[in-house]
Amino acid sequence: MTRMETSRATTAKQLRPYTRPLIKNAWYVAGWSEDFGDDLLARRILDEPILFYRATSGEPVAVLDVCPHKLAPMRLGQRIGDDVQCGYHGLKFNKHGQCVHNPQGNGIIPPNAKLKSYPTVERYSVVWIWMGDPAKADPDNIPDFSVLDDPKLKPVKGGHKVESNYMMMVENLLDLGHALFLHANTGGMGNLQLTESKITNEDGAIKDWRLYTDIPTPSLFAQFLNEERADLWSDIRWSAPSVLLNNAGVSPVGRARDKSVAVEQYGTHFLTPETQTTTHYFYANTRNYALDDPAGDEAWRQWQRKALKAEDSMVAEAIQSVVPQAEELEVEMVVLSTDLSGIRANRILEEMAVAEEGE
């Protein structure tokens, strides 16, 4: 191999996190509970068009949004009780995807007239969907996001589409050091020195802990802590493939992570691949202070618009735009010490992808 070929091969290998096949055997977030009502909702997940609705019992139903007759999208039809009827020739399917009525001709239902159906679970105010082998779908493997339902906390929820592979956002969240630069003017966290950092592995979930001690209280929390200086921590837990729970907060100096004095929030970050290069991003910031204060809600809404959308997602999309050309440009990517949790997450995902490719 020439030097140029070697360099290109290295870059291609390094791009694998952004180009490897999407993991199917996993729980993904299909949306917030309130996204799902009586109406039909179409949403593409892992490049499969899926139709959602609630059965009369309230349970979320997920079936392929493609009629097996002439491939008409089922979303063009209508929901009738627990069933959904195709808007083209009227085949009707029950909540398990089985065809139960043919209004045409002899009325016979062909034995293979069915819609693929997907396991769903509603938990933590979220609808989860399993995209792989239904026999492997175990709801016990859904990570704990009970903070979203905790009555002592107040969530502010949001979401938007990111025009990038989901891993750009996962890596962004696993290295929260980016806040010191990318969000320096948004959260008032510029130029801080990391005091402590460690990575732990809890039942396959990777946790990256970071602490900054005795710093000017970041503006994001300043009006609620009433201390000029504070300890700030920013910890994040990643569970495969793409759900993360961040805990960030401030306390009087010397009392980091002490719940009794902390002004803190939990950031819930759900990255669900829409396609290989686009991502549904569902997020919430759930705080332990000023629960009934609309100004507290508005502060987090602003943070979401600015930090999560205009800053984080903007960078993710800009990186995505470089990916197709990176090999040709021979950009050999470098690794920093703070990339370690991202490297570990990628190692787990690579094993999952390889296992699925071999299935």
**Which parts of this chain interact with ligand FES (CB under 6 A)?**
67, 69-70, 72, 86, 88-91
255 DSSP assignment = -
Report how many residues bind Fe ion under the rule CB under 5 A.
1
Q: Which of 67/307 has CB closer to ligand FES?
A: 67
Site string for Fe ion, 283-312 (x = CB under 5 A): -----------------------------x
235: contact with Fe ion by CB under 5 A = no
Q: What is the CA radius of gyration of the chain?
A: 23
Nearer to Fe ion, 52 or 300 (CB): 300
Beta carbon nearer to ligand FES, 72 or 343: 72
Question: CA–CA separation, 95 vs 203, rounded Å?
Answer: 34
Query: Got the DSSP string for 316-358?
Result: HHHHHHHHHHHHHHT------GGGHHHHHHHHHHHHHHHHHHT
Q: Which is nearer to ligand FES, 67 or 179 (CB)?
A: 67
Instruction: Give me the least distance between CB of 176 and Fe ion, in Å please.
Output: 7
Residue with smaller CB distance to ligand FES, 88 or 209: 88
**Binding partner of 312, given Fe ion, ligand FES, none, CB within 5-8 angstroms per partner class:** Fe ion
**289 touches, from ligand FES, Fe ion, none (C-beta below 5 to 8 Å by class):** none
Question: Which lies closer to Fe ion via its Cβ, residue 179 or residue 230?
Answer: 179
- The CB-nearest residue to Fe ion is 312
Does residue 241 have a cis bond before it (omega within 30 degrees)?
Answer: yes
SS3 246: strand
Q: Which residue reads 């990186």 in tokens?
A: 319
Cβ 69 to Fe ion, closest distance in Å?
46
Asked if 48 interacts with Fe ion (CB under 5 A), we say: no
Do 64 and 80 form a contact (C-beta atoms < 8 A)? Answer: no
161 binds, among Fe ion, ligand FES, none (CB under 5 to 8 A by kind): none
Residue 171 engages Fe ion in binding (rule: CB under 5 A)? no
Question: Distance between CA 111 and CA 99 in Å, rounded?
Answer: 9
Task: Quote the CA–CA distance of 35 and 84 in Å, as a whole number.
Answer: 18
CB half-sphere exposure, 118, CA atoms < 13 A: 30
**Length of the chain (residues):** 359
In the complex, the smallest distance separating the C-beta of residue 267 from Fe ion, rounded to whole angstroms, is 9
CB of 41 to ligand FES, least distance (A): 19
**Residue 275 bridge partners (DSSP):** 278
CA distances to 28, 56, 84, 187 from 79, in Å:
24, 11, 4, 45
Site string for Fe ion, 309-328 (x = CB under 5 A): ---x----------------
Residue 194 contacts residue 228 (beta carbons within 8 Å):
no
Q: Which is nearer to ligand FES, 90 or 324 (CB)?
A: 90
Footprint of Fe ion (CB under 5 A): 312
